[in-house]
Amino acid sequence: MQNVTAHASEGINLTCGMSGNHGFIFTLVPVVYGFNFVIGVVGNSMVVAVIYRYMKLKTVANVFVLNLAISDLTFLITLPMWATFTATGYYWPFGSFLCKACAGLVIFNLYTSIFFLTALSVDRCLAIVQPVRSRRYRTAGYARVSCVLVWLVAFALSVPTALTREVYIITNETTVCGVLHSKDALRPKNLLLAISLMKSLLGFLVPFLIIVSCYCLIGRALLRSRHIQRSARPREDEVLRMLAAAVLAFFLCWAPHQVVHFLQVLHQLKVLADCSVLELIDTAMPFTICVAYFNSCVNPLVYGFVGANFRRNLLRLLCCAQRGVPVAHPSISSKMSALSFRASEALSLTAKGKTSSADGQ
């Protein structure tokens, strides 16, 4: 949006007015945000509980999936504020700090999601294409180090977005959380353009090319190994199907937003300078954001429908919760079952000893 700055007391005059200012947006979008928040928080909390309780953190895939769920949860806590912002006609009542933090968390979730999916794709590729060589590197320890690097890089990439967001007072007394595009300030304009290009390249295009390359290598390796019995790798196939579904869901959720965001970049470059084009961009943007935010609650559905192992453990968790039985840690429950087996074995041996002694008498 192209803005002209006035004095602070007068507010800001907008060259193209309040683009995308439609009543149905203020009604529909908050409802979708609320749906995403409820489904996403419940679903990702179950993912965290199932992996921690039953599936453990001894495999690379589980480490990355757990971090992906935590990333989604950190973003979902901002949705009630975005819903309020939209429901009140783009009025931001939460102050400057939360404006910056919420905007930064949106981009932070974008980067962490695509980076974790990329790391999962590379892991599957190494497991199938180079199973022997990659075994020493595909450990839970290396996966945890990779997760720390992903969190740090994603945080560094999201900081500029947080810093450029601010609370502005528009001339119609509306307080918005947004970005000011000034005609005169060249450095902020270049910074905003760099942030937009990073979001498109590092947050979507480059990782997606890496993921597609990984799947091409995986497909070629699987075609070469047709003679190998599929029963020998059921776990590998399940993880691969689950990852493919998660990557497809990410692409379908974020691609519309990236297209509209690219049009917004063209408007920043003055390639598209008409106010009618800006009106179209600002009207479509809230709906593409809704679809993009839906990605944070679709991953648990993917795990439930595609991952048979995850589905079994989820049913175990739900059954224990309904009965009110405390869910023991897997290591504790395995030790208890081993002790009970040894105790029953000892009792059977004792009973056999008594029977044999009675027969001897």
For residue 160, what pLDDT is reported? 92
Identify whether residues 248 and 359 lie together within a single domain: no
Q: Name the residue range of residue 347's domain.
A: 332-361
For residue 320, what pLDDT is reported? 72
Distance (Å, whole) CA 27 – CA 189: 32
Identify whether residues 189 and 169 lie together within a single domain: yes
For residue 181, what pLDDT is reported? 60
- Here the tokens at position 201 are 């390249």
Contacts of 27 (CB under 8 A, 6+ apart): 87
Distance (Å, whole) CA 160 – CA 100: 10
Identify whether residues 125 and 76 lie together within a single domain: yes
Identify whether residues 125 and 223 lie together within a single domain: yes
Identify whether residues 247 and 354 lie together within a single domain: no
- Give Cα separations from 357 to 97, 351, 352, 353 (angstroms): 82, 10, 9, 6
Identify whether residues 220 and 349 lie together within a single domain: no
For residue 354, what pLDDT is reported? 41
Identify whether residues 107 and 126 lie together within a single domain: yes
**Amino acid identity for residue 229 in this structure:** Q
For residue 4, what pLDDT is reported? 35
In the chain, the number of structural domains is 2
Identify whether residues 30 and 149 lie together within a single domain: yes
List average pLDDT for each run of 10 residues in the chain, which is 361 residues long.
37 53 79 93 90 80 91 93 90 92 93 93 89 86 94 95 88 76 60 86 92 89 66 61 85 90 79 74 86 86 75 78 52 42 44 43 41
For residue 308, what pLDDT is reported? 73
Identify whether residues 320 and 343 lie together within a single domain: no
Identify whether residues 109 and 245 lie together within a single domain: yes
For residue 327, what pLDDT is reported? 45
Q: Which helix (H) or strand (E) holds 166?
A: strand 166-169
For residue 323, what pLDDT is reported? 61
Are 202 and 274 contacting, i.e. CB atoms less than 8 angstroms apart?
A: no
Tell me the DSSP string of 167-208: EEEBTTS-EEEE---BSS-HHHHHHHHHHHHHHHIIIIIHHH
Identify whether residues 133 and 23 lie together within a single domain: yes
What CATH number does the domain containing 93 carry?
Answer: 1.20.1070.10
Backbone angles phi and psi of 181, in degrees to 5: -100, 100
For residue 225, what pLDDT is reported? 72
Identify whether residues 84 and 120 lie together within a single domain: yes
Q: Give the up-direction half-sphere exposure of residue 30: CA atoms within 13 A in the CB hemisphere.
A: 15
For residue 178, what pLDDT is reported? 83
**Amino acid identity for residue 258 in this structure:** Q
For residue 337, what pLDDT is reported? 42
